[in-house]
Structure formats: C-alpha cells, structure tokens
Copies of this chain bind each other. A is one copy, B any other.
C-alpha cells in the first residue's frame, strides 16, 4: 500500500499529519547534524586539525539532546494519537532511527578523540588512505539511508543494505594491512592502533546506516528485514508502488 495515500485517506486530523511530518523533519535535522559530525571528525583526522576534533567532541551533546527530544515527541504522538498501521510504523521507525543516529554520533566522537591523539604524534601515520577510502564509502551510505528515509524509497534503502557487505570486506582487508605495518615497525604500534579504532568506528557507522535503511523497508512495506540476507528478499515486494 502506498504510505502517502494511506495517510491521506485515514487521517481526518490535519494536525496529526503535521505532527508526523515534524517527526520526520526533526529526524532529518538530527541526521544532518550526525553526517556533519562524521565528516568533520574524519577531516580533523586527515588534516591533523585538533581544534576541529575538539569541536566534534563538544557537539556530541547536541546529538544526544536531539535524540531525547525526538524520542519524547514520538512518545507523545503514541500516547495522544494512538496511531495504527503505517503511521505506527513511522513512529516506531523514528524511535529506532534516533538510537542509530545517536550511536553514529558516538562513533564520530571516538574518531575525533583519536584525531586528537594522532595530532600529537609526530612522524608518518600509516593507514590514512584506507581511512579516507572507507570514510567516503560509509558517508555515502549514511547520506543515501537518510535520503531513502526522507523519500520512503525502498530501492535506495536496499542499495545501502547491499553496500554494507562491501564496506565489511574493505574493512577486513584494511585491518590486515595495518597489522602488517605494526609487525614491521613496532614504533608505529600506538599510531596504527589509533587508526584501527578509527576504521572500526567507520565500519560501525556503516552498520548503523544499514540499520536505518532496514527501517525504511519496514516503515514503507511493513516488512522487518533485519537479520535477513538481502539476496533472499523478493525484489517485487520492494518495488515502489
């Protein structure tokens, strides 16, 4: 069923529609902030900009506040409007999404903390190429997942889900070459470890983007594809209606 026509036919209350729209708008604002946090954290690391890294760490509070605020709005919508069907799924998807966005914010903070550590170390830092490459990949996933949410676009959402497997492969191979660096030069251990934590954080950002994409499928199609192999999902079911 098309979520838009469903919404239109079932709601007499224009105010209720407006509340649901606001939930979505606020979630997108939180998504935008979190995207910026990841971008700034990676930039701070690559450019050795410890001032920007500190800003990222400080801004995490804003991300947390937005989560509390949006979750509170969701609870009030559930209590007052008692939504059903696709409206209920939207509210539940927003609640789940704020939790993933908040955790992406935490990962950005971790990257920023490692950027501060690395900016103090002198000498060549290994693994920055891998960081740049994987960060571009997961930032695209995050952007696409948020766009898919905003547009109720299940096909774009499924692309994000499939991308996550590629990121996992890239991550595995980057970790293996970093381990080789470490073994070759024990003086690099501390800085390579920092880069490993950063890569792990980026890989987690990819996982959370993957979760966001799964919620889009849930809210539009009523289909819970968490823990499913993306190749086993019937593409017909996911077609735009």
Docked-complex contact B179 and A64, CB < 8 angstroms:
no
CB distance from A122 to the nearest CB of B (A): 17
- Interface of chain A, helix or strand or loop or mixed? helix
CA distance A89 to B82 in the complex (A): 14
Docked-complex contact B227 and A68, CB < 8 angstroms:
yes
Docked-complex contact B227 and A64, CB < 8 angstroms:
yes
Docked-complex contact B64 and A226, CB < 8 angstroms:
yes
- Taking CB atoms and an 8 Å cut-off, the chain A residues in 58-92 that contact chain B are 61, 64-65, 67-68, 71-72, 75, 78-79, 82, 84-85, 88-89, 92
Is residue A186 contacting chain B, with contact meaning CB distance below 8 A? yes
Q: Which of B68, B89, B193, B196 contacts A226 (CB 8 A)?
A: B68
Docked-complex contact B193 and A189, CB < 8 angstroms:
no
CA distance A179 to B193 in the complex (A): 9
Q: List 14 A-B contacts (CB under 8 A).
A: A64-B227, A68-B227, A75-B89, A75-B92, A78-B92, A79-B84, A79-B85, A79-B88, A82-B82, A96-B99, A182-B189, A183-B190, A189-B189, A200-B200
